[in-house]
Structure 1
Amino acid sequence: MYIDSHCHINFPELVARLPDILGKMDENRVSHALCVSVNLPEFPQVLALAEQYPHIFASVGVHPDYEDTPEPSVEQLVELADNPRIVAIGETGLDYYRLQGDLEWQRERFRTHIRASRITGKPLIIHTRSASEDTIRIMREEGANPEAGGAAGVMHCFTESQEVADAAIELGFYISFSGIVTFKSAKALQEVARTIPLERMLIETDSPYLAPVPYRGKTNEPGLVRHVAEFIADLRGIPVEEVARHTTENFFTLFKMAK
């Protein structure tokens, strides 16, 4: 069985086909999925899906790309996370690729999420793009590290270097690979996927985006996460069942509330 550790099935292009989406999960042996929050106005939709379907879990958080959206407070995130269907805080992090200028507000938002994670004990889902140095620095400063009393977490849709992966793993985090790892241009990323410990790996779709080969360019969905697992298995020269087993066990180890 596979688990899609990061998707957005509440987005319009997927929720309109929800019965089909869930059916294809079953056909492809995708047993569970984590529907990830990107802003507070749409959070009720995310939570509603998790409350309706026992194999769907949810997170609460505000994505760093959302500039003109209600800003969360630590207290608000802690309150919203006080629900057994909410298994994580995020997605959160830093993105210097899409937004320019003074991004101190982004860094402060990231710190807010880390603090909420520490209080709730629920792991962080971290998005980082063109901002890895600041991301790791703030994680260290805010104690986003089980050894510092914080919760663990995952670097989702990982596209960074081996050095960044090693730094995140050293902080107790997991590395999650999306369909990007199947792209021909992703040679450096494929090397990271080939070498990091299986005990620190997750797989995801980030759907409706980033469909894996052979569906690249089409709308992504949780059922396609098995193609990510199959590609990584080929990279590492191991049975796909081994990737499925490790990533499933890792999901429930990290997102303890999902048990």
Structure 2
Amino acid sequence: MLVDSHCHIDFPDFAEGVAPLLANMQQAGVGHALCVSVTLEDYPRVLALAEAHANLFASVGVHPDHQDYQEPTVDQLVELAKHPKVVAIGETGLDYYRLPRAEVDWQRARFRTHIRAARQAGKPLIIHTRSAADDTLAIMREAGAGEAGGVMHCFTESWDVARQALELGFYISFSGIVTFKSAADLREVARQVPLDRLLVETDSPYLAPVPHRGKRNEPAYVRQVAELIAQVRGVSVEAVVEATTGNFFRLFSAARS
């Protein structure tokens, strides 16, 4: 069964609860999902979902978009990551889309904090990068992110950026964006990434894939992402399912316990 390697089903968009989402996952052949933390304030809600459902996992981290929230420390992240249902540190990274580079020193400091925590905790990183690929890769190298490993989530960058991340030992995860008509270049990247380093995700409630574009996204729709990638690569959907599921449990090894 497929795994949605990145979703936010704790968000208010899912105020009706996760029961219908879990039922839709089962019907679509999606066996597990990783619910990703974006603030420490909301982390307890993320963890509660993972504790309540055997097929859900959690991460702990603070998203680079969230400036006016509790700032994490290395020790705090390491301590929270000890929970058996927490399989990763993040999401973390850099996002210069709304802020000029000169105003985001705090993002770069926070990113380094997460990398240090991941190395100490022995858990992989979930990395977000938007309009900041060069700095993201530079900090990954400088701070030793390759020691922890992890995934470049919701990947939208060039093959050259993917190649450099792969060289650092990272996986590449594709979301519903890869199904968009305008994403021909991204589909070419999805064709080139080695199958044993590929993940699929929804990033729900955002970025619903075709034919659901414009609607609220949910983990069940990761199947459309896998189907598109199979088509682009000229392989069976079963091959993509088997590879991405195996990759998920290899990268997020705590999810196997």
For 2:99 and 2:180, locate their aligned partners in 1 and report how far apart those are by CA, in whole Å.
Answer: 25
Offset at 1:54?
0.6
Is 1:33 aligned to residue 42 of structure 2? no
> Kindly, what percent of the aligned residue pairs are identical?
65
Residues in 1 aligned to 2:220 and 2:17: alpha-carbon distance in whole angstroms: 13
Query: What amino acid is the match of 1:121?
Result: G
- Assess if the C-alpha contact under 8 Å between 1:182 and 1:212 holds in 2: yes
Shift of the alpha carbon at 1:195? Answer: 1.1
Which residue of the partner structure matches residue 105 of structure 1? 106
2:248 counterpart (232, 241, 251): 251
| Residue aligning to 1:50 | 50
Q: Where does structure 1 differ by over 6 angstroms across 4 or more consecutive aligned residues?
A: none
Aligned residue number for residue 93 of structure 1 = 93
Aligned 1:61-100 pairs, distance under 5 A: 61-100=61-100
> In the aligned structure 1, how far is the partner of 2:165 from the partner of 2:14?
31
Does the Cα contact within 8 Å between 1:14 and 1:221 map onto a contact in 2? no
- In structure 1, C-alpha distance between the alignment counterparts of 2:249 and 2:198, rounded to whole Å: 12
Deviation string, structure 1 residues 57-77 (Cα, Å, up to 9, x no partner)? 000000000011110010110
- Give the Cα separation in 2 of the matches to 1:43 and 1:105: 21
How far residue 15 of structure 1 moved from its aligned partner, in angstroms, is: 4.2
1:153 aligns with 2:154: no
Q: Deviations over 1:119-141 (max 9, x none)?
A: 00100000000000000000000
**With structure 1 as the length reference, what TM-score do the two structures score?**
0.97
Q: How far does the alpha carbon of each residue in 1:79-130 deviate from its partner, in whole angstroms, 9 at most, with x for none?
A: 1111010000000000000223510000000000000000001000000000
Q: Secondary structure at the match of 2:145?
A: coil
CA distance in structure 2 between the partners assigned to 1:63 and 1:176 by the alignment: 17
SS, match of residue 78 in structure 2? helix
3-state DSSP of counterpart to 1:59: strand
Query: Aligned Cα RMSD in Å?
Result: 0.7
Q: Which runs of 5+ in 1 are unaligned?
A: none
Instruction: Give the corresponding residue for 2:214.
Output: 217
User: Quick one: which of 185, 190, 200 aligns to 2:187?
Assistant: 190
Q: What is the count of residue pairs matched by the alignment?
A: 255
Aligned partners of 1:99, 1:255: CA distance in 2, in Å?
Answer: 32
Encode CA deviations 1:26-85: one digit per residue, 9 max, x unaligned: 000100000000000000000000000010000000000001111001011011111010
CA contact (8 A) 1:176 1:201 kept: yes
**Deviation of the 1:215 alpha carbon:** 0.3
TM-score (norm 2): 0.98
| Counterpart residue identity of residue 140, structure 2 | M
State how 1:174-189 maps to structure 2 within 5 Å: 174-189=171-186
